[in-house]
Structure 1
Amino acid sequence: MSESSSSSNTSAALVGFLSDPATIAGLAAIAVGTAWYLSSRAPAPVKPPVAVDNQSLELTGGEHARISHFCKKNELISYRFEDARTLYECFQRGKRESNDSDCLGWRTGPKAPYQWMRYSEVEARAVAFGAGLSKLGVEPGQETYVGIYSLNTPSWVIVEQSANCFSRILVPLYDTLGPDAVSYIINKATISVVACHSSKVSLLFDQAEKAPSLKMLIKLDGAVTEEETQRSNETGITIHTMEEVERLGRENPVDLFLPTPENVATICFTSGTTGDPKGGILTHGNLVSNIAGAYIQLESLFSMNKEDTHISYLPLAHMFERVVQAMVFMCGAKVGFFQGDVKLLIEDMQALKPTLFASVPRLLNRVYDKVVAGASASPIKKWLFEKALASKNAELKRGIVRQDSIWDYLVFKKVQTLLGGRVRFILTGSAPISGKVLDFLRIAVGCQVFEGYGQTECTAGCSLTLPGDVSTGHVGPPMPCNRIKLVDIKDMNYFASNGEGEVCIFGPNVFQGYLKDPDKTAEAIDKDGWLHTGDVGRWLQNGCLKIIDRKKHIFKLSQGEYVAPEKVEIIYSRSTLVAQAYHYGDSLKSACVAIIVPDEVVLMKWASDKSIEGSFEELCKKEDVKKMILDNITALGKESGLKSFEQAKAIVLFSELFSVDNGLLTPTFKLKRPAAKTFFMESFVKMYSQLPS
C-alpha cells in the first residue's frame, strides 16, 4: 500500500465531521455569548516544568553546547528508575506497576473487539520462545543475531522480549527494503534465524544462495504449508511455527541469560538515500537512556500508568516506535496493535480508545487538510469552524489546552471521537510539522502535542518540546540524556558563534557505531564522542533548537553559489498548496528548478472557487495552475529570506505523492535524491531548455 493512499484513506473519515444540518442550525443559534461562557469556565493554563523563555542551559567551555534543565549538576541521565536499566528490567517493572494487567492487545477483524494478553502471559511466551530457540541450537548471548521480518503484531513484541530475556541481538528487516537489502542485512549481521510473517516466508527462502548464514525460519502465524516444507527441503533452511518453538521451550526450560546495560539490544539498519543500509548498534543502555530522557521531560504532566493505551501502527523496525513502546512497558501501560491496514487505523482507534498517539507529520497533515476541507463545504460551516478555532486559539495562546469547552461539544467532539475520544497526548517526529497543524491538533483534539527530533544514531530522540509550551517553529530543548552543540559549517556560512551550525549530540543515547563498518562509524562519531547528524540547527532565544537546513545535500551552481535544497524544500512545503517538493540544481546551470506535488484537497478547492474544471491530474498539467503555484512559493521563499539564486525559476507539477512504493522515499520517508534525480531527469532537462541561458 502506498503511503499517500494510506494517509488519504485514514483521514478521509474526517471529512464529514460537520455535515449534520440540524447541528449546524443549532450551533449558529447559540454562538452568541460563547466567548463569555468560555472565559468564565476555562481551566488554569498548564504550567511548564521550566521557564518557556529559558528552556536549556549553555555550558561553559567555549563549545556553545547546551544541556537540559533536568540535568542536576550538569550530569546526563542514563535511566529513570534504579530497577529499570535494561529493556528486560523495564518490562519487569511494568509488570509490577500494572499489577500484571493487560499488556498487548489485538483484534481479528474490523468489527471484532480487542483481545488482551497480560504482562505475565507475554513474559511466559517470551521465555518459552527463547528456550525453544536454544533447544533448536540457537545459542543465547551476544554472538546470536535474531532477525524479525513482520508488520507490528503481538508476536513481534514476544520475539523482542525473548531476545531481551536471553541477551540475543534483535535485527529488524524492513518490510519495504526489498530482497537485495534483506540478503545484505542477513549477511552483514550473520543472521542464522529469522522470525517472519507468513507473507515473507517465500521471499526468505529465495535468499538461500545469497544469504548462506540463514539456516532457520520461524513462522509467526499459521501452520507450515506443503509448499513451504518442499522449499525447506530444497534450500536446507528449516522452518518451524512459533507455536512449535514455544512448546519446545516449555518442555525444555533453560535458565535466562539476562543482559547488562552495556550489552547490545538491537541492530537497526538505516535505509539511507544512497548505498547499502548501515546497521546502527544500540545497547540496552542506549535505549533506556533515551526512554528516561523522554519520560523525565513528560512526567511533570503525563505520568503514564496501567490506564494508558498506545496504538501501535508506526513500523517497529524503526527506533521511534520501539522507544515509545519500551516507555509504555516501563510504565505498565498497554499497547494495542492496528490490524495492519492503515486505511482501518481510525476504526482501530475508535475501538481501542488510545490515550497516546505517536504519529508522523504526513498523516497528521492529511487529517488537517481533510477537516479544513470539510469545514469549508458551506459558508455556515466555515463561519462556525473559524469561530471555534479563533476562540480556542485565544485560549491556546494562554496555555490552555482542553476538551471540555462549548466549542468542543459543538464543533470538535466528532474529531475527538473519531480518534477514540481519550487521546491525551500526541507525539510526532521523523519530519518537520507546520505550526498551523500543531495548533490545529492542540485545538481540535484538545490535547498536548509534542514534537521531537533525532535519528537512529542517537537511538531515537535528542530534543523534545516541553509540556505547557504551545509555541511552534522548534523541536524543543535538549533531552536530559544528551548535550547538543552546533559546529561551524564554513562553506554554508553557518557559525556556532552566531548560534547556527551542524547539530552534534553527546550522551548515553548515542549509538556504538555501524556494524562492521569502522570507516562510516568514524565519519559519524568524532574522536571526542560527538555524533555529527548532518542536520543544520539554530538556537532560539528561548533555548530551543530549530532545524533549518541539511549539510550533506548541497550543490554548487555555475556562478559558484551553494544551494542547500532541503532548506528550500522545507520553506516551499509551508505553502498550503504544496504537499511535497524536490529542489534541484545543475552545476553547469545558473538557476534552480523544482518538482512540486500539489496538495490535492487545497488545489481542487482553489480550482472550484475559480470555476476551473478538471481532475487533479489535469490541473497539474495546466500552465496557469503551474504559474500560480510558482508565484506562491516564490513569494513565500522571498518572505523567508531565500536569495534569488536559491529560488526555483521553473517547476513541474507532479500528481503522485513521493512514496516508498514508487521508489522516491526511503522507509523513513526521506527523499531518495539519486533515485528522484534519475526519475525526473527528463523534466529537469526540459525545464532548463526553456529557461534563458
Structure 2
Amino acid sequence: MSDTQTQIENRPPTVASLLFERVAKTPDAEAYRYPVPSSTGQGPDDWKSLSWAQAADRVYAIAAGLVDLGVEPEERVALASATRVEWILSDLGVMCAGAATTTIYPQTNAEESAFILSDSESRVLIAEDAVQLAKARERRAELPQLRHVVVVDSAAAAPAEGDPEGWVLSLEDLEKRGRAYLEKHPEAVRERVGAITADQLATLIYTSGTTGRPKGVRLPHDNWSYMAKAIAATGLVREDDVQYLWLPLAHVFGKVLTSGQIEVGHVTAVDGRVDKIIENLPVVQPTYMAAVPRIFEKVYNGVANKARAGGPAKYKIFQWAAGVARDYAKATQDSFRRTGRAKAPLGLTAKHKVADVLVYSKLRAAFGGRLRAAVSGSVALAPEIGYFFSGAGIHILEGYGLTESSAASFVNPGEAYRTGTVGKPLPGCEVRIADDGEVLLRGPGIMQGYHKLPDKTAEVLEPDGWFHTGDIGELSPDGYLRITDRKKDLFKTSGGKYIAPTEIEGHFKALCPFVSNIVVLGADRNYCTALIALDEAALQGWAQEQGIGGLPYAELVATPQVQGMVQGYVDRLNAGLQRWQTIKKFRLLPRDLDVEHGELTPSLKLKRPVVEREYQHLIEEMYEGARES
C-alpha cells in the first residue's frame, strides 16, 4: 500500500484535529486574508491577515461560546452568511464544539430559510447582518427550537421588541463569552474535539432542488477529514500557494476548499463579493482559485467584446489568437498524453509566442499574473472555452463531485489535465459506469444519507455503498471521466433521437460572445428549439456600434439587428451538429436568468423546469403548427 493511501486511511476523525495539528506546526504562518473598508472610506479596501494561531484563538472562543450557550454534540448551528472570513471561523467553531453546521445561502428567502432551520432543528443561527436576522425574526413563531441568533455584524445585533431575553447577541459577544468560559474550563474545546467520532454529523447542506423542498445532505466529520487528506495527496495544492476564495461557502464546492487548506497550510484570501473579483485579482495575486464555468465564460466574453470594441483590426487579432490558443492547447495536451512532454509543432509554437505578447500576457495579468491553475466545477465548462484559456496559459482543471459526495470526487491531474474531462478519481474514491451510462461512486466522501428522508436515501444509495449520481458519463481506458449530461436532462425527440442539451449549450457558449444563458428544448417534439438570454453589458456595447445603443435590454433583444446577429451564431452552431440536434427556432428572453427569480441555483446551475414553466408561452410559440411525428 502506498504512503498516500496509508495517510488517507489513517486520517483523524475530524478536521478539528487537523486544525490542532496545523496550529502546532505553523502557528505564526499566515492563514487568512480578508478585506476591510479603507480607513478613509474611499478607494480600494485594505486587506488584513490572521495567522493560524490568531485564527485558532477565535475559533476556540466561538466553540466555547457555543458550549456555554448549551449547544450539545451533533446539535445543529445554522450559518446564513455570504463568503467571508467569519464564515470559516464560525464553521470551524461549530466543528470544534462537536456540533454540526447547517448551511443557508444568504439569498434564501424567509420561508425557505425557516424550512431549513426547522427541518434541521437548528438551535442557534449565526446570521451575517440585519437582513438575515430579519428573516429569523419574521418566522420566529415557527421556530421554537431556535434558542439564539448570533449576528456577525455587531451593529445589527440590537434586540428588538418581542425578542426573548438573550435571543440576539453579536459574534463579538459570543467570543467574549467563550473566552470567559475557557478561563474556567480551559480544556473544554479539546475535550469536545477529543470526543468526536468519525461518523458524527458535521454538516447539513440543503441541496437546491429544481422541484419541491430542498433535501438536507448529512455529511459526517470523516467526509471532511478524508477530503482534506485526499486534496493534499493530489499534489495540486502547495504550502506556498495563495488561494482566492470567493465561492459561496454554503455550497459544498466552497466548503471543501476550507478543509484542504488546513491540511496543506497555505494562505486563503476570502471575499465573497462577486462584483469585486476583477478588482481583487491583481491585489490578491492568487496562485490558484476555484470557480464555476460562468466566471470563465464572462471573462472570455468580456475579452472578446473588448477586442471587438477596439475596431476590426483588433478583433481580427483576437480571433486569430483565440484560434492559435485552442490549437496550441490541443497539440500540447495530445503530446503530453502520448509522450509525457507538452510540445507543439514549431510553426504553431512561433505563432503562439506572437499571440502571447499581443493577447495572452494581458489576460494572465488580469488574473493577477501568478495563477498556476484554476479549478472549475459545479457544471460543465464548454471545451472550446477551456482550450482557449489553456492555450493562453491559464490552466483550468475541471473537477467533478456532488453535495452527496462532499464536492470533490474527480479532478484533473496537474500537467496531465485533459480539457473536456473531469480528470481522475481522488485517492480512495471508486467509480463505475452502470449499464445505462450512469456514473456510480463509492468511498469515504459519500454522504450518510438525506436528513429524515430514508426513502429518498434508498433511491440513490445502495446497501453496499454505491451512490447513484444521476450523471451520465464515460471513462477512458486510463481512467479519465467525461460527463456527458445529467440523466434527468437527457431527452428524446418524437423521432426517437436522444439529445444531450448541455453539450449543445456548451458549444453555443463557446461560439457566441454575447450569450449569458441558453436552454435547449425538444423532449417529445419533432425538432429542437432554444431559449436564449444575452449578456446585457456585452450586448449594449455591440448595440452602440450598430447605432441602436441606449435602448432598454428588453427592447434591444426584440430588434431585427439583434435577432439577426443571434441567428448568425445559431447557424454556425447548427453547422457543427447532427441534423436532429440542430436548433430550428429560438426566442430571446426579455431578461437574463437569475437566482432571485429561482431560475438558477445559488451555484449558478440551471433549473430547467422553472425556466420552462416561466416561459411556456414562448416555447409553445416555437412549436405552433409543427407536425408531430
User: How high is the TM-score relative to the length of structure 2?
Assistant: 0.85
- The 1:651/1:532 distance shift into structure 2, 3 A limit, reads same
Aligned residue in 2 for 1:90: 18
Task: Decide whether the 8 Å contact of 1:93 with 1:332 is kept in 2.
Answer: no
Task: Decide whether the 8 Å contact of 2:228 with 2:262 is kept in 1.
Answer: no
Q: Does 1:432 align with 2:432?
A: no
| Cα deviation 1:496-543 (Å, max 9, x = unaligned) | xxxxx0111111111111011001101111232111111111223553
Q: Does 1:372 align with 2:299?
A: no
Partner AA of 1:580 in structure 2: N
Distance 1:575 1:433 in 2: 13
Q: Does 1:270 align with 2:207?
A: yes
Distance 1:105 1:204 in 2: 30
Aligned residue in 2 for 1:329: 262
1:636 equivalent among 560, 566, 573: 573
* 2:396 match: secondary structure: strand
Q: RMSD of aligned C-alpha atoms?
A: 3.2
Task: Judge which range, 632-641 or 327-336, deviates more.
Answer: 632-641
Aligned residue in 2 for 1:516: 452
Q: Which has the higher contact order (CA 8 A, sep 6+)?
A: 1
Partner AA of 1:688 in structure 2: Y
Aligned residue in 2 for 1:310: 243
Task: Decide whether the 8 Å contact of 2:15 with 2:259 is kept in 1.
Answer: yes
Q: How does 1:414-433 map to 2 (within 5 A)?
A: 414-433=362-381
* 1:468 match: secondary structure: helix
Distance 1:673 1:380 in 2: 40
Q: Does 1:535 align with 2:535?
A: no
- The 1:622/1:421 distance shift into structure 2, 3 A limit, reads same
Task: Decide whether the 8 Å contact of 1:267 with 1:281 is kept in 2.
Answer: yes
Deviation at 1:270? 0.5
Q: Does 1:683 align with 2:618?
A: yes
Deviation at 1:239? 0.9
Partner AA of 1:269 in structure 2: Y
Task: Decide whether the 8 Å contact of 2:67 with 2:97 is kept in 1.
Answer: no
Deviation at 1:88? 1.1
Q: How does 1:31-46 map to 2 (within 5 A)?
A: none
- The 1:121/1:394 distance shift into structure 2, 3 A limit, reads same
Task: Decide whether the 8 Å contact of 1:267 with 1:282 is kept in 2.
Answer: yes
1:239 equivalent among 168, 182, 192: 168
Task: Decide whether the 8 Å contact of 1:373 with 1:601 is kept in 2.
Answer: no
Distance 1:206 1:552 in 2: 36
Task: Judge which range, 384-393 or 667-676, deviates more.
Answer: 384-393
Distance 1:193 1:395 in 2: 54
Task: Decide whether the 8 Å contact of 1:114 with 1:352 is kept in 2.
Answer: no
* 1:294 match: secondary structure: helix
Aligned residue in 2 for 1:354: 286
* 2:427 match: secondary structure: coil
Deviation at 1:149? 0.7
Task: Decide whether the 8 Å contact of 1:183 with 1:211 is kept in 2.
Answer: yes
Partner AA of 1:518 in structure 2: P
Task: Judge which range, 548-557 or 656-665, deviates more.
Answer: 548-557
Task: Judge which range, 240-249 or 648-657, deviates more.
Answer: 648-657
- The 1:195/1:603 distance shift into structure 2, 3 A limit, reads closer
| Cα deviation 1:374-408 (Å, max 9, x = unaligned) | 23423553465566666766764332799x97865
Task: Decide whether the 8 Å contact of 2:484 with 2:500 is kept in 1.
Answer: no
* 2:58 match: secondary structure: helix
- The 1:410/1:626 distance shift into structure 2, 3 A limit, reads closer
Distance 1:584 1:389 in 2: 30
- The 1:471/1:586 distance shift into structure 2, 3 A limit, reads closer
Q: Does 1:150 align with 2:81?
A: yes
* 1:317 match: secondary structure: coil
Deviation at 1:241? 1.2
- The 1:304/1:651 distance shift into structure 2, 3 A limit, reads same
**Structure 2 residues without counterparts, runs of 5 or longer:** 38-42, 333-341
* 1:230 match: secondary structure: coil
Aligned residue in 1 for 2:29: 101
* 1:652 match: secondary structure: strand
| Cα deviation 1:610-653 (Å, max 9, x = unaligned) | 88888564453245754664575466356343x52x54432211
Partner AA of 1:652 in structure 2: R
Distance 1:413 1:93 in 2: 40
Distance 1:429 1:652 in 2: 29
* 1:546 match: secondary structure: strand
Deviation at 1:106? 1.4
- The 1:372/1:564 distance shift into structure 2, 3 A limit, reads closer
Aligned residue in 2 for 1:196: 127
* 1:229 match: secondary structure: coil
Task: Judge which range, 93-102 or 177-186, deviates more.
Answer: 93-102
Deviation at 1:454? 1.3
Task: Judge which range, 416-425 or 658-667, deviates more.
Answer: 416-425
- The 1:432/1:275 distance shift into structure 2, 3 A limit, reads same
* 1:281 match: secondary structure: strand
Partner AA of 1:117 in structure 2: L
Distance 2:520 2:100 in 1: 40
Aligned residues with identical type, % of pairs: 28
- The 1:324/1:81 distance shift into structure 2, 3 A limit, reads farther
- The 1:320/1:633 distance shift into structure 2, 3 A limit, reads same
* 2:521 match: secondary structure: strand
Aligned residue in 2 for 1:282: 219
Partner AA of 2:470 in structure 1: G
Q: How does 1:283-682 map to 2 (within 5 A)?
A: 283-297=220-234, 299=235, 302-305=236-239, 307-338=240-271, 340-376=272-308, 377-382=310-315, 385=318, 396=329, 397-398=331-332, 399=342, 411-444=359-392, 446-469=393-416, 471-489=418-436, 501-554=437-490, 565-576=501-512, 578-585=515-522, 587=524, 590-598=526-534, 615=551, 617-622=554-559, 626=563, 629=566, 632-633=569-570, 636-637=573-574, 639-641=576-578, 644=580, 646-682=581-617
- The 1:666/1:387 distance shift into structure 2, 3 A limit, reads closer
Task: Decide whether the 8 Å contact of 2:544 with 2:550 is kept in 1.
Answer: no
* 1:346 match: secondary structure: helix
* 1:280 match: secondary structure: strand
Q: Does 1:250 align with 2:187?
A: no
Distance 1:211 1:308 in 2: 43
Distance 1:225 1:604 in 2: 42
Task: Judge which range, 568-577 or 144-153, deviates more.
Answer: 568-577
Aligned residue in 1 for 2:335: none
| Cα deviation 1:176-195 (Å, max 9, x = unaligned) | 22112111111111111011
- The 1:184/1:312 distance shift into structure 2, 3 A limit, reads same
| Cα deviation 1:261-314 (Å, max 9, x = unaligned) | 3222111111111111111111222123233333323x1xx4511x32212211
Task: Decide whether the 8 Å contact of 1:557 with 1:590 is kept in 2.
Answer: yes
* 2:414 match: secondary structure: coil
* 2:136 match: secondary structure: helix
Aligned residue in 2 for 1:62: none
Deviation at 1:342? 1.8
- The 1:93/1:214 distance shift into structure 2, 3 A limit, reads same
- The 1:584/1:393 distance shift into structure 2, 3 A limit, reads closer
